[in-house]
Amino acid sequence: MTTPVASERRRQLSRFASPVALVALMWAIQILDAILPGSFTGFGLRSWDLGSLPGLILGPLLHASWPHLIGNTLPLLVLGCLVAVEGGGRFWLVTVITAAIGGAGTWLINAPGTLTVGASVLVFGYFAYVVVRIFSPRPVAHRIAYALIALFVIVLYGGSILTGIIGAGPGVSWQAHLFGAVGGVVAALSGTRRRKALDA
């Protein structure tokens, strides 16, 4: 017999299934890319190419190499789970907004023909989302909790995030990082406005 406590614990843990599933999908795609002939990276986002617009969705799922995927996996899981604390639906909404804005900005700003793949657009979006959620109109206890989480995230990833935008090396898309972060901010502020409307 399932107790109410066990049921609630299972419900809480199920929130983290979404980011885990997203990362698992990325790994499955990378494994298939290694096994099958050709390369999936061609389905990424190619700037100023209207035919590559499906790359807005596919680009974050694809990676140029195993080190590329491995480097994105841990921050994606950590930050994704922090976003998913608010529920699986919220996680996917933030993911879609971040991918759309991050991809659109990259498509417009990058040099024509530049191919962009990788989940770092989502990593930067989740980071920005978690930090900006401090300003959510929630009870003081929740805002303090968000502030502590944001402080932890800034200490853990702040340096890497700043370097990824200002000091990105050759072959690294600072555009995807910057606009991914913009997408995260938009997602956070849209949630804030919606909550204010509900509280009005």
pLDDT band at residue 200, thresholds of 50, 70 and 90?
Answer: very low
Q: What is the pTM of this model?
A: 0.86
Tell me the residue type at 100.
A
Looking at the DSSP bridge assignments, the partners of residue 46 are 115
Buried b (16+ CB within 10 A) or exposed e, 38-58: eebbebbbbbeeeebeebbeb
Distance CA 142, CA 136 (A): 9
CA distance 98 to 121: 7
pLDDT for 191 beyond 50: yes
Q: What is the pLDDT of residues 9-57, one digit of tens each?
A: 777 778 899 999 999 999 999 999 999 998 999 999 999 999 999 999 9
Query: Who has greater pLDDT, 193 or 58?
Result: 58
| CB-based contacts of 100, cutoff 8 Å, min separation 6 | 56, 183
